[in-house]
Amino acid sequence: MKRLMALIPMLLVAGPAWAEPTPVKVHAISQDAKFIGDSMGGVEVVLRDAQTGKMLAKGLTVGGTGDTKKIMEAVGRSPMLTTPDAAHYSTTLDISVPTLVKVELRGPLGRPLTMQRATSERWLVPGISAGDGWVVELPGLAIEVDGVSAMIAGRAATVTAKVGLMCGCPITPGGLWDAADYEVTAELHRKGEKSERTSLAFSAAPGLFSSAITPGFSGKGELWIVARNIRTGNAGVARVPVRIAKP
């Protein structure tokens, strides 16, 4: 009996650690703007063990863009940005020890021309939630393209691009995302080389930029729409295949 009693502490130490349910909430926030959710098709979220690469969970962010004032007027090094309605992906991981977790973001899924990726790593402690959630910034601009279906070599064609933030937040004259801060260009590429380039002027709210471009070649090519915020450097590129007819 004495021998058995002496073994009990050793068995307790050697036994498996008990996993604890650990809540995880991930938010994807657009660079210069708000959270990315339902209005833009959400963002794909993958959680992995950073050391082994094993996938721990996968899902989409759902919800709204959040509180504009709280986000855009935030001050301090690590301000609390989220509200209960702000888009997020929530899950629960069962972990028994502090675990380094990697998150991979891809989106917004509703703007396939300009989807971006972002990754981040952080330690998760068993049973402890992370305050404001795990907020990861997704750079880029969401771009949709129109006016490229009927191009003819040597003839001017109007190209229109709709540019917005990754959260769907609108670009308007004098607005919170001021049209004057954005530069948008259209480029025609052939065989990997730029052929023509023109600046697109702001034409209508929200976020429409347009101008004419004259193709200098016929056949297959690509139209590139390049948009950037001239103050912050945040940029997006949409590439659309085009076939330019002979005159």
Query: What is the per-residue pLDDT across 84-95, written as a single tens digit (0 to 9) for each?
Result: 999 999 999 999
What is the dihedral angle through the alpha carbons of 50, 54, 60, 65, rounded to the nearest 10 degrees?
-10
By CB atoms closer than 10 A (0-12, 13-18, 19+), residue 46 is middle
Q: Which distant-in-sequence residues (6+ apart) come within 8 Å of 142 by Cβ? A: 40, 108, 111, 114, 163, 164, 165, 166, 168, 236
The DSSP bridge partners found for residue 225 are: 186, 238
Tell me which architecture the domain covering 13-138 has in CATH.
Sandwich (2.60)
Write down the pLDDT at residue 12. Answer: 44
Residue-level pLDDT at 147: 67
**Under the phi-then-psi rule, with left for phi > 0, alpha for psi from -120 to 50, and beta for the rest, what region is 4?**
alpha
Tell me the pLDDT band of 132, cut-offs 50, 70 and 90. Answer: confident
Domain ranges of the chain: 13-138, 141-244
> Considering the chain, what percentage of its residues have pLDDT values greater than 70?
93
Model confidence, pTM: 0.89
Domains 13-138 and 141-244 share a fold: yes
* pLDDT of 21 strictly over 60: yes
Q: Which two tokens stand for residue 79?
A: 């301000």
CATH 2.60.40.10 fits 141-244, yes or no: yes
Average pLDDT taken over every residue of the chain: 92
The amino acid at 199: S
